Amino acid sequence: MFRTHTCGELRLTNTGKNVTLSGWVQRIRDKGTLLWIDLRDRYGITQLFLEEGKTPPEFIELARSFGREFVISATGVVAERESKNPNIPTGEIEVRITGLKLLNASKLPPFTIEDKSDGGDELRMKYRYLDLRRNPLKNNLELRHRIALETRNYLDSQGFYEIETPYLIKSTPEGARDFVVPSRMNPGEFYALPQSPQTFKQILMVAGYDRYFQIVRCFRDEDLRADRQPEFTQIDCEMAFVDQEDVLNTFEGLARFLFSKVKGVDVGPFERMDYATAMKLYGSDKPDLRFGMPFVELNDLTKDKGFSVFDEAELVVGINVAGCSEYTRKQLDALTDFVKKPQIGAKGLVYVKYNTDGSLKSSVDKFFTEEDLKSWAVRLDSRPGDLLLILSGKTDATRKQLGELRLEMGNQLGMRDPQVFKPLWVTDFPLLEWSEEAQRFFAMHHPFTSPKPEDVHMLDSDPGKARANAYDMVINGVEVGGGSIRIHNRELQKRMFTLLGFTDEEALNQFGFLLNAFEYGAPPHGGIALGFDRLTALIAGFDSIRDFIAFPKNNSGRDVMIDSPSVIAQHQLDELSLKVTVEKK
């Protein structure tokens, strides 16, 4: 037997007990006649104690041969410590060794196994099994396990069945790029890995399953931006006989339950905001509501004063940054540089300092009187001591730029505390977006999203204006998930495909099974998918998902630990009737 207890469970009440523990050597202190070993496992750390004259000498000798991360098994008697450690639950006891065994030696790890590691990213990824030993990662994966389990139990309690859908499905051109899987038994043909189980969950609604969920892996072969993974996990859900309100309430319930259960936080009822308002007030379809600074439009107040930049702008819009009128020239220049970065793309930044003495000073004093500036301040609800930041230009672009600036100000002013949570639903997304590049409409959510009934008539007259029964769950400026009420009518679905540029033949070839299913009694239905990696990181209070995934890939889609992808054998290619058209080094 390797152990009677774990390294996290012995207490003073166990004093005198004979125990066996196994684990990793975290640290050894050798004070000549006395020797301590901190033994670590998943459950905690327990101090082992050896003493010359009392502990059999062969064990002292053995202990002196141990190094960091050696795996050992130790038997001994639980005793009260002389100097207690109040920081760990086992800190009042130690185990006085009567037996000791080396289970496996360890080379010196290439970085320290401590909460703050000294290893760089690539090294930590290559030796992921060592990185995963560190407490922060262990806590992340435990949290992930806990959230998955609680999600399942909650949805079960709400009448949802978890139903597994296939991973080997069919490639479809709409949406992101598919990963494909050549079929040996059907030469020249390919499966695709699912970008989401969308059509299958709709089929399950047609099949009468009423409430479906699945915590499921999804795959997208996209060029990886930072913090995107080619495979990621979704909490995928669908419900029949519901309208938007039912879906929102159900998953607001889930999210509030999770925050309360695993985090002990009541995030309160979710705010609701339609897409148009979110764009107008925050320049984003995922506004961070941990702080205010809503946009205020100033076109009418800035017009015809001789400042051509504003006069020619479609939109002049500002935010009020409280208490920042004392920003220095350097700080203001830095903000101007920030908005002029290519990723943001503004041409310049106008500021107005509303000084504590009541005077106003701006970067456009040449064109505007103090009275003009005062009128802006009034509209922005500014007070003496505040700073007004104003951008102008094309409406959509300017809003996006000011949205970025608003977030930056939130960061600078410490108003984005990761342990504060402000959830909201953004609703009434546009159904379609026009692609200048492709010169056609794309579905903003996906091709199965239902237009709002009152907007269906626009599909002929002005499709770009039609709103969808689509919604996003947004927390702290992060899109946690999104969903929609779906089309359940064959004719409407065909019309959507036509709008998206499918020929009838293409639509039938790709989605014929769904169109057919709609003819055999398809109920009204809708659902949502939440990004599970993202949700877990968010609940933990982190931005990056990478350390919430046990074995993530790097930005080139490689798993550097196992060194994958890799070349395969010629006979594998032959069996698959495939030829590689590039030279591999």
What is the distance between the alpha carbons of residues 164 and 216, in angstroms, rounded to a whole number? 8
Q: How many CB atoms lie within 10 A of CB 121?
A: 11
DSSP 320-372: EETT-TT--HHHHHHHHHHHHSTTT--S--EEEEE-TTS-EEETTTTT--HHH
Q: Which two tokens stand for residue 253?
A: 């319930």
Q: Which residue's CB is nearer to a second copy, number 398 or number 469?
A: 469
Instruction: Evaluate whether 223 touches 201 at the Cβ level (below 8 Å).
Output: no
- Cβ 468 to a second copy shortest distance, Å: 20
Residue 493 DSSP symbol: H
Q: Which residue's CB is nearer to a second copy, number 107 or number 116?
A: 107
To 10 degrees, the CA torsion angle through 135, 215, 177, 206? -170
Strand partners, 297: 317
Q: Which residue's CB is nearer to a second copy, number 301 or number 561?
A: 561
- Cβ 137 to a second copy shortest distance, Å: 9
Per-residue 3-state assignment (H helix, E strand, C coil) for 164-212:
CCCCCECCCCCCCCCCEEECCCCCCCEEECCCCCHHHHHHHHHCCCCEE
- Cβ 203 to a second copy shortest distance, Å: 5
Q: Which residue's CB is nearer to a second copy, number 135 or number 544?
A: 135
Q: Which residue's CB is nearer to a second copy, number 385 or number 523?
A: 523
- Cβ 286 to a second copy shortest distance, Å: 25
Phi, psi dihedral angles at 102 (to 5 degrees): -85, 125
What is the distance between the alpha carbons of residues 470 and 444, in angstroms, rounded to a whole number? 9
- Cβ 489 to a second copy shortest distance, Å: 7
What residue type is 507 in one-letter code?
A: A
User: Closest Cα partner for 476 from 516, 416, 563?
Assistant: 416
Q: Which two tokens stand for residue 238?
A: 């669908």
Q: Which two tokens stand for residue 347?
A: 């041409």
- Cβ 471 to a second copy shortest distance, Å: 18
Q: Which residue's CB is nearer to a second copy, number 33 or number 186?
A: 186
- Cβ 446 to a second copy shortest distance, Å: 17
DSSP 252-320: HHHHHHHIIIII-----SPEEEEHHHHHHHHSSSS--TTS----EE-HHHHTTSS-HHHHT-SEEEEEE
- Cβ 234 to a second copy shortest distance, Å: 12
Q: Which residue's CB is nearer to a second copy, number 280 or number 546?
A: 546
- Cβ 521 to a second copy shortest distance, Å: 4
- Cβ 405 to a second copy shortest distance, Å: 34
- Cβ 71 to a second copy shortest distance, Å: 5
Q: Which residue's CB is nearer to a second copy, number 231 or number 408?
A: 231
Q: Which residue's CB is nearer to a second copy, number 333 or number 519?
A: 519
- Cβ 539 to a second copy shortest distance, Å: 16
- Cβ 267 to a second copy shortest distance, Å: 25
Q: Which residue's CB is nearer to a second copy, number 353 or number 486?
A: 486
What is the distance between the alpha carbons of residues 388 and 353, in angstroms, rounded to a whole number? 6
552: helix, coil or strand?
A: coil
What is the distance between the alpha carbons of residues 449 and 444, in angstroms, rounded to a whole number? 9
- Cβ 180 to a second copy shortest distance, Å: 6
Q: Which residue's CB is nearer to a second copy, number 6 or number 363?
A: 6
Q: Which residue's CB is nearer to a second copy, number 73 or number 412?
A: 73
Instruction: Evaluate whether 190 touches 171 at the Cβ level (below 8 Å).
Output: yes
> Taken in order 276, 278, 281, 286, is the CA torsion positive or negative?
negative
DSSP 424-469: EEEE--BSEEEETTTTEEEESS-TTBPBPGGGTTHHHH-GGG-BBS
Q: Which two tokens stand for residue 24?
A: 């990793």
> Taken in order 335, 338, 344, 349, is the CA torsion positive or negative?
positive
What is the distance between the alpha carbons of residues 121 and 484, in angstroms, rounded to a whole number? 38
Q: Which residue's CB is nearer to a second copy, number 200 or number 354?
A: 200
Q: Which residue's CB is nearer to a second copy, number 350 or number 487?
A: 487
Residue 238 makes CB contacts below 8 A (sequence gap 6+) with: 201, 202, 204, 205, 211, 212, 213, 525, 526, 527
Angle 504-517/198-206 helices, nearest 10 degrees?
A: 40
- Go through the chain and tell me how many residues it has: 585
